[in-house]
Amino acid sequence: MESDDELIAIVSMECRLPQADGVDEFWQKLVDGDSAVRDLTDEEVAAAGVPEGRRSRADYVKRAGVIDGLAEFDSTYFGYSPREADILDVQQRLMLESSVSLLERANIDPQRTRQRIGVFAGSGMSTYLFGALRRRDLVESLGEMVIRHGNDKDFLATRTSYKLNLRGPSVNVQTACSTGLVAVHSAVQSLLLNECDAAIAGAVHVRLPQHAGYRYQVGGVLSPDGVCRPFDSGANGTVFTNGIGLVLLKRLRDAVADGDEVHAVIAASAVNNDGAEKVSFTAPSVSGQVEVLSDALQISGAKQTDITYIEAHGTGTALGDPIEIEAIKQAYGLDGAPCGIGSLKGNFGHLNIAAGIIGLIKAALVLKHGYVPPTVNVDEVNPALELDGSRYFVTTEGLPLDRGSENWAGVSAFGMGGTNGHVILKSFEPSPADESAAEAPADDAAAAGPSILTFSARSEDALRGQAAALADRLAADPAASLAAYAHTLREGRTLHPYRASLAAVDRAEAVTRLRAGRYHRGAEAGTNEIAFVFAGQGTQRQAMGAALATKNEHFARRLAEAVDAVNEHTDFDVNTYLGPDGPVDGIDTSVAQPLLFAVEYALATALVDAGVRPHYVLGHSLGEIVAATVAGVFDLRSAAALVATRARLMGGCPTGSMLAVDRLDEFRDLLDGGDLVVAATNSPAQFVLSGTHEAVDEAVARAADAGVRHQRLATSHAFHSPLMRGAAEEFRAFLHTVEFRAPGIALVSNITGRVLTEYEARSPHYWADHLLRTVDFAESMETLRAAGVRRFIEIGAGRSMSNLVRANLAAEAGLTPELAQTLGELEHEEESFADAVALGWAADPEVPVEAYATAARMVSLPTYAFERHVHWVEPTLGFGADDDADAPVAASLSVPAPVPAPAAAPAPAASAADSGPADLDGPTEEIRGIVAKIFESFIGAPAAAHEREFFELGGNSLMAIQLINKLRETFELDFSVRDFYENSSVSATTNVITSLLLEEPAHV
């Protein structure tokens, strides 16, 4: 590839290997010179099914490279029913999960990207299939075709494309041990031909049982002691292990333009075959290897001496190593700069199908880190390699590369059968302009403002896993930019049904909230309505909203509109009370109410401008007037006049007092005289008494004597008491001049506790009586609780309404409301408002959060935290029928003999689906039990939800055919495909079968 336009970038890498669950662990294992191949205990080998007579032989080698957790798989993420996940080949499971992680490492959301993403991959033969086919219960319930489809390597690439919604070429590559590297070559060619914009390339190999060991055969390729010694004088065989490796490739120019991290650049790749000019089908060929290395070198445009490291195939066999070294010397020449040769097979064994791709990942890491890890298990370099006097040496010790110059590396993989692959890589250094653009500065809370972190998962448990992983990454990243994290989470991650969000201004706060679970939650299938709760008089504070107005243009504009409207009807300027020196303590009602109205109206409408739309609004006393305005009952000008008039009239009433108490029983006799009333029922344990000074003084004394918790409120008047009667009458007269409209948003009444009717909303009498009647906030909350509302945004300063919401919902076990405040603490107004937007996003991911995720580039973040569960069919050493292999994954299927038709016919129904479980009794209940067991045998989980359709439970069309046949055999009747597809729940299927047994039509 002589032109930069033909260079291919490796933008992300993923692997899962013995003792290395990821690229970082893989690299550390290499750097430390550790081996991942371990001894097996006799108990492990016996548990793998190896007979005692075989495992006790002297030539039986009890060593293996074992991947932990192979039985676990996140079936929910990929939409598999438990039973279908049980029979899916572990190689295909690894491919699916690793592909998700690979794309996330590149910050690509396959559901939203416009890129055509290809898949080029191969796998080993499924040995998991052997165990599945021996399970007669699985074969009978699912059918052999379903089991084979789940294990056939033909479907590796296409299954990945289907499950991840990838639309580029999807091609299986199978060339034995060179598969992984040949897959890379195929992906490179597809990119160069513009068939795709990005490509997943790699391979997976898992042989089961993992703990079986193997029998050594003299003259074979396997090591007699389970140790692979690449290029060592004592090299006597390899040891096959398990693993997966994947890379994501892009054209370099596209990767740079997209701001991707480039680990290394593929400068050239070549593939050929030895043909027939070799000793045998399985033998290597010097000439074939020389040609493929030479072809790649020529395509790359590099000189022979540019290559200073080669990750060799290096199997540690007496025949293979010398042939490979000879080919290297012929292709790359004997003279020039020193060139190291290494092989990871000493660390991880021979990864078979995946060997080449793991070698490529290692070489890319070598160039990225500027360091060559040692090749292990080399006590003495094999003299037969004849390296003395040449420029080549085996890297038996760690070797730093020259970071001051461009570094080149070659990677080889040679497949049994003669297909050879070679890739040439070179290091990548971004240009100063690219590097500058990619840099994300650490947080400066004062300058950057709050960021909204959004993340999602396929289940609640996985969501918690996402939060934990994100917190750990933030905690370990002192240079983290929250804006870059927010931008990456928003743009580079798939949106899943369970959502979470939070706003934060600094890293420490984000970590604390993530670890404590203090983030907002939402779910695709849940109730996501939001209620705006407007605070009442007494919640005002100094300079409320001033800090937010300097940062949020929507709020500043809305506040200015509201202040202008209110100022037309007051003899003071509301702005006087909004500044940092504005007095608010002890201000008159005629000032407090217009001030609160202006700020709360601006907060609510600014939130709506930001995309957060309430489904319900309610307020406490004055707050209901603001809520009604936001709901459209009053326009802004009318509302401003109304509030100013209301406040002036209330402020002119006789003075009085108010007292908060936690119960009422001790005051019942005092409430009979009319001088003391219940002004508000805020919650089941919080009430407000209102009346004359004398009546309240007596109530205070009564509370002290009875041990009732109480607090006198800092008010000058007895609101919501008969002392407001004069104001109510004058206000009623004024209201006849106001134009009312029907609410456009459900408005919950303080007076009735119900959703306000149009008649009430447009009645002057309702709003006049509002001054006198009890604020029944507790009943309002009960209405919202019954409606399923769990999300509340407090409109106003502080947390008083949030505390009341929490107090009202605390009595319901297990119910935790989602709460946000628009103006929380004085010093965090902007963050509080952003957190309200975050709550809006959790409820509705269409709420835009771009303004709170402003970084130009994405960064590396943790990949999806899969919620893995055991899906396992015990593997076998080989395939063969076994009458004792029918132990089920859950419970065994035991279906009674065919059921005779009931003696008495039930009343006919309009259709099978219309009759529910309540209609089932007698013989029909017995039929339903049999049907439920059959469903369970196919789905793999109890089919307790009898009304859920088969396909909703995770079934597919192939499984449906098998299930229909099972029903036919069990009940000895002609149960049609149409019958099932139209009636595929347990209950509906039962009704169809019952009708057929009675010779009644199930449908017309």
Mean pLDDT calculated for residue range 606-617: 97
User: 562: left (phi > 0), else alpha (psi -120 to 50), else beta?
Assistant: alpha
Mean pLDDT calculated for residue range 56-83: 95
Determine contact, residues 689/699, Cβ cutoff 8 Å: yes
| pLDDT of 507 higher than 70 | yes
Residue type, 655: T
Least confident range of 60-69, 195-204, 444-453, 489-498: 444-453
What is the spatial distance between Cα 734 and Cα 736, in angstroms, rounded to a whole number? Answer: 5
Whole-number mean pLDDT of the chain? 90
The structure tokens 């003259």 sit at: 219
| pLDDT of 946 higher than 70 | no
pLDDT recorded at residue 957 = 74
Supply φ then ψ for residue 561, to 5 degrees. -60, -45
What is the spatial distance between Cα 339 and Cα 392, in angstroms, rounded to a whole number? Answer: 5
| pLDDT of 688 higher than 50 | yes
Positions marked catalytic:
177, 313, 350, 621
**CA–CA distance from 866 to each of 73, 95, 98, 520, 869 (Å)?**
8, 14, 11, 21, 9
Q: Residue 555: pLDDT band by 50, 70, 90 thresholds?
A: very high
B/e letters for 347-360, b = 16+ CB within 10 Å, e = fewer, are bbbbbbbbbbbbbb
Mean pLDDT calculated for residue range 365-383: 97
Q: Residue 884: pLDDT band by 50, 70, 90 thresholds?
A: very low
pLDDT recorded at residue 811 = 62
Q: Residue 433: pLDDT band by 50, 70, 90 thresholds?
A: low
Mean pLDDT calculated for residue range 86-114: 97
| pLDDT of 809 higher than 50 | yes
pLDDT recorded at residue 997 = 83
What is the spatial distance between Cα 139 and Cα 37, in angstroms, rounded to a whole number? Answer: 35
Determine contact, residues 182/271, Cβ cutoff 8 Å: yes
What is the spatial distance between Cα 466 and Cα 485, in angstroms, rounded to a whole number? Answer: 13
What is the spatial distance between Cα 421 and Cα 303, in angstroms, rounded to a whole number? Answer: 19
pLDDT recorded at residue 181 = 98
Mean pLDDT calculated for residue range 199-224: 93
Over pLDDT 70: what percentage of the chain? 92
pLDDT recorded at residue 905 = 38
- Written as six digits, the tokens of 600 are 């709360």
Angle at CA of residue 629, ends 842 and 757, nearest 5°: 90
pLDDT recorded at residue 605 = 98
What is the spatial distance between Cα 678 and Cα 691, in angstroms, rounded to a whole number? Answer: 9
pLDDT recorded at residue 430 = 82
- Written as six digits, the tokens of 372 are 């060559």
Mean pLDDT calculated for residue range 28-44: 97
| pLDDT of 278 higher than 90 | no
pLDDT recorded at residue 910 = 35
pLDDT recorded at residue 365 = 98
B/e letters for 432-452, b = 16+ CB within 10 Å, e = fewer, are eeeeeebebeebebeebbbbb
**Cα-Cα-Cα-Cα dihedral sign, residues 17, 22, 26, 28:** negative
| 3-class state of residue 856 by DSSP | coil
pLDDT recorded at residue 821 = 96
Determine contact, residues 544/828, Cβ cutoff 8 Å: no
| pLDDT of 895 higher than 50 | no
Q: Smallest Cα–Cα separation from 244: which of 395, 153, 353?
A: 353
Could you give the residue ranges of the DSSP H alpha helices within 403-552? 432-438, 445-448, 460-475, 482-491, 507-516, 546-551
Long-range contacts, 955-962 (Cβ 8 Å, 24+) = 955/81, 955/984, 956/84, 958/143, 958/145, 958/146, 958/149, 959/81, 959/84, 959/142, 959/143, 959/146, 960/984, 961/143, 962/141, 962/142, 962/143, 962/146, 962/938
pLDDT recorded at residue 439 = 52
| pLDDT of 6 higher than 70 | yes
pLDDT recorded at residue 911 = 40
pLDDT recorded at residue 879 = 52
What is the spatial distance between Cα 152 and Cα 129, in angstroms, rounded to a whole number? Answer: 9
Identify which has the larger pLDDT, 356 or 584: 356
Mean pLDDT calculated for residue range 551-578: 95
Identify which has the larger pLDDT, 775 or 943: 775
Please classify residue 833 by burial: count the beta carbons closer than 10 Å to its beta carbon, then call 0-12 exposed, 13-18 middle and 19+ buried: buried
Q: Residue 878: pLDDT band by 50, 70, 90 thresholds?
A: low
What is the spatial distance between Cα 980 and Cα 343, in angstroms, rounded to a whole number? Answer: 57
Least confident range of 208-212, 935-939, 953-957: 953-957
Q: Residue 959: pLDDT band by 50, 70, 90 thresholds?
A: confident
What is the spatial distance between Cα 483 and Cα 479, in angstroms, rounded to a whole number? Answer: 12
Identify which has the larger pLDDT, 573 or 948: 573
Helix (H) or strand (E) holding 835: helix 829-843
pLDDT recorded at residue 445 = 43
The β-bridge partners of 372 are 399
- Residue 492 DSSP one-character state: S
What is the spatial distance between Cα 750 and Cα 681, in angstroms, rounded to a whole number? Answer: 10
Angle at CA of residue 37, ends 179 and 366, nearest 5°: 60
| pLDDT of 411 higher than 90 | yes
pLDDT recorded at residue 903 = 40
Least confident range of 4-8, 210-214, 330-334: 4-8
Determine contact, residues 350/241, Cβ cutoff 8 Å: yes
* Cβ count within 10 A of residue 736: 8
Determine contact, residues 987/948, Cβ cutoff 8 Å: no
Mean pLDDT calculated for residue range 472-498: 95
Identify which has the larger pLDDT, 714 or 22: 22
pLDDT recorded at residue 969 = 84
pLDDT tens for 238-259 read 999 999 999 999 999 999 999 9
Determine contact, residues 211/48, Cβ cutoff 8 Å: yes
Least confident range of 268-277, 510-519, 539-548, 779-788: 539-548
CA terminus-to-terminus distance, the chain: 68
Angle at CA of residue 413, ends 70 and 209, nearest 5°: 25
